Structures are given as C-alpha cells and as structure tokens.
Amino acid sequence: MKKMLYVASTFIHLKHFHLDYLDYFTRQGWEVQVLASGDPGLVPDVYRKIVLPFEKKMSSPKNFVTALKIARLIRQERYDAIQVHTSLAAFFTRLGVQLSGYRPRLVSNTVHGYLFDDRSPALKRAVMLGAEKWMKPVTDLLLVMNQEDLEIARNNRLSRGRVVQIHGMGLELSRFPERREEESARLRQEAGIAPEELVLLYPAEFSKRKNQSFLLEGVRKLREDGIPLRLILPGEGGLLEECREQARQWGLEGQVEFPGYTRELPRYLQMADLAVSSSRSEGLPFNLMEAMAVGIPLAATRVKGHTDLIEQGRNGFLFDFGDLDGFCTAVRRFYEDPGLRRRMGRENRERIQAYSLEQVLPEVVAAWEEAWREKEGIEC
C-alpha cells in the first residue's frame, strides 16, 4: 500500500477544505496519514492522525523543533507522497523533508495564497520569497489559486516540476442555497434589522491582514452620510477585542455585530445584501465564494484573490486597499440601486459554478495524478 502524508496547519482547516480529498485518496488505496495541530477528532476516517504544533510566527523555535520531528517521521515512515497546505505548515514540512535525507516520490505544495506580493515591504518579500526558493528542490508540484501567485511561482521558478493554477479547493454549493427575499426578510425581522438597512457581511479572522478596522471606519463615514446599514463581522482572532472597543468608542453598537465563531454562516448570508472584504491579500477567499453561491454581490479590495473572482461592474466592485472613499462609493451604489444588487447576484450564481467542489476536485486530482505519473512513469 502506498503511503501519503497530508499536512496543514490545523485540523480545523482540514475539516473545512480537505475531507473530500482525504476520502478520495483513501478510496484509491492510499494509506493516508494526516498531520496538523489542534483537535484530530475533526478529521475522521484516515489511517493515522499525527498532532504537531505549528506556531503562526515563522521564526518561532517551536516550528523548527516540529520540522525536526517531521524529518524523523519521514525517515521512519518513508512516504511515497507528501501533500502540504497552508504557508507555515508547507515550509516546515518541506524543511523536514530536506532534513530527513529521504526523498518521497512526489512532494506537492498547494498554495492557499502567498503572504507576499510586489507591494509587500522589501524585507518581508525577500524573506518569504527566499524561503520558497529554499524549498524548491523538494517541491515537485506547485498548485496555486490565483493569477498573481501563478506569476510569482513561474517568474521565480519556485517548483522543480509543474506549476498549475486551480480554482481553489472547491465549494460545496448545496450548503449555500440561493438567497430568497422572503426568507431574508423573515430572518432580518427576527434579528431586529430594519427593512431599509443595507446588510454587509465579512466573516474572517480578526487580524491586521483582514483589516476589519477599515470597515468600521467606513460604517462611521456612511452613517454620517445618512445611509442606514448593518455590518456583521463573524469570526475570532487576536484583534477582535480591539475592533469591539473601536466600535464602542465610535458609537457603532447599533450598526456593527460581532457574532464570534459561528456555524450559522448560511443564515447570515441569507440576511446579507452584499459581501465585503477589506483584506490586504488572499489566495482565493471562501467568504466571497460563499456569497457568490447564495447570489449576493461583492465589494472588496483590489488585491490578488479578489481580482480573480470580481470583474469590476459585472458581479461586484473593487477598490484600492485602504481607499475609504472607494469603499463608501461602492456601498452607496448598492444602497441606491437594488436592481444592481439583484443583477450582480445573478451573475455570481452563474460564475460560482466553476468553483464548485464537483468541478474542482477532479481538476485538482488530475493535476496531482499527472505529476505522479510523469515523475514515476507509472499509473497512480
């Protein structure tokens, strides 16, 4: 039986985005072992679960200790294939491959969004790009999710083998039924949201990169202009309390909600008029794809990942990162024109089909299996 090590930063990430892939490779006869941090109970039905910590800070000594443990594991298990996901886990697992002295037949890295681009500070870009170049000798296949990351990978030759763009990991569309006006009105009434309020939704981790404080500033400005709106910010993270305090100081308690971690995202999507994002960079964001699935329009920063999903004026609006006037202009247009919201929502329902799990899983698997066959000259 062929052995595969499948790695991500956390088990919750694996649960949200990878269970169908784990099931696929298990059914193909692979002995699948998963490695991540957190609760292994979130991932069922694999041969083995290995719990190792990944710290968010790249320079943390704990990450290098984890790399040494992965190297020892690789020497013991002698995997035929290793699949890595998420930036830190991908780097330190591949470092473990280098330290192990053993080369699996195929090491693939699925990039969920490089954490740098041409607009990053020079030192940050140099360090992170240097780390990816360091891992090139043990990267046989590189899968990226947006056009800008594709260019970064190809221009800098970050793989010794193929570089392939994919449509994310696939969205299970059945979990996000089309938004219905009657259901939306009922849910909004239950939540105490007035019919005239424009509801904005941004589910994301509270972090500097996700930049929720920008949206709070936008809500304050739009309120001053007399636009009734509600901003819903599901999620947790290091900057959650700071954003709560910012909302309190600006008197936004009636306009901004912080539900925290929630399993009721489909409910919030039914209530929302549009999805927004103030993020500095993305891979291919699920929060916008989920909004597309239910059929609501988008307003987001003009950054990688967003520009792959949004065609300006067709299914949403893009504004420059940090451009408060650009954000407010987009929101005003949606507020003033319900027909525009409906037209863009219908467009999103059509566009999201290319990102469905039904379409994407075969695409991803085909790229992986082709690389396997090319590398070994055998059928997968």
Q: What is the pLDDT of residue 377?
A: 62
DSSP 334: H
Q: What is the pLDDT of residue 6?
A: 98
CA atoms within 13 A on the CB side of 298: 36
pLDDT in tens, 227-248: 999 999 999 999 999 999 999 9
Do 292 and 326 reside in the same domain of the chain? yes
Which CATH number fits the domain that encloses residue 125? 3.40.50.2000
pLDDT in tens, 39-98: 999 998 899 999 999 998 888 999 999 999 999 999 999 999 999 999 999 999 999 999
Nearest to 20 by CA among 306, 363, 289, 291: 363
* Contact by Cβ (8 Å): 193, 229: no
Do 316 and 184 reside in the same domain of the chain? yes
Instruction: Work out how many domains the chain is built from and give that number.
Output: 2
Nearest to 211 by CA among 325, 56, 321: 321
Nearest to 21 by CA among 7, 38, 9: 7
Do 181 and 118 reside in the same domain of the chain? no
Do 127 and 239 reside in the same domain of the chain? no
What residues contact residue 143 under an 8 Å CB cut-off, 6+ apart? 108, 109, 110, 111, 164, 165, 166, 364, 367, 368
**Residue that is written with structure tokens 């396997």 in the block:** 372
Q: What is the pLDDT of residue 375?
A: 82
Q: Average pLDDT of the chain?
A: 95
Do 284 and 340 reside in the same domain of the chain? yes
Do 136 and 182 reside in the same domain of the chain? no
* Contact by Cβ (8 Å): 38, 11: yes
Region of 168 please: left (phi>0), alpha (psi -120 to 50) or beta.
Answer: left
Do 62 and 151 reside in the same domain of the chain? yes
Q: Tell whether the model's pLDDT for residue 32 goes beyond 70.
A: yes
pLDDT in tens, 43-53: 988 999 999 99
pTM value is 0.91
Do 251 and 350 reside in the same domain of the chain? yes
What domain range includes position 91? Answer: 3-170+356-376
Do 200 and 135 reside in the same domain of the chain? no
Task: Return the higher-pLDDT residue of 1 and 50.
Answer: 50
Q: What is the pLDDT of residue 187?
A: 96
Do 110 and 14 reside in the same domain of the chain? yes
* Contact by Cβ (8 Å): 137, 256: no
Q: What is the pLDDT of residue 379?
A: 43
Do 199 and 344 reside in the same domain of the chain? yes
Do 187 and 208 reside in the same domain of the chain? yes
Element (H, E) at 144: strand 141-144
* Contact by Cβ (8 Å): 212, 234: no
Distance, in Å, from the CA atom of 137 to the CA atom of 140, rounded to the nearest integer, reads 8
Distance, in Å, from the CA atom of 69 to the CA atom of 73, rounded to the nearest integer, reads 6
Q: Is the dihedral of CA 232, 236, 237, 242 positive or negative?
A: positive
Q: What is the pLDDT of residue 380?
A: 40
Which SS3 state, helix, strand or coil, does residue 184 take? Answer: helix
Distance, in Å, from the CA atom of 346 to the CA atom of 293, rounded to the nearest integer, reads 9
* Contact by Cβ (8 Å): 326, 132: no
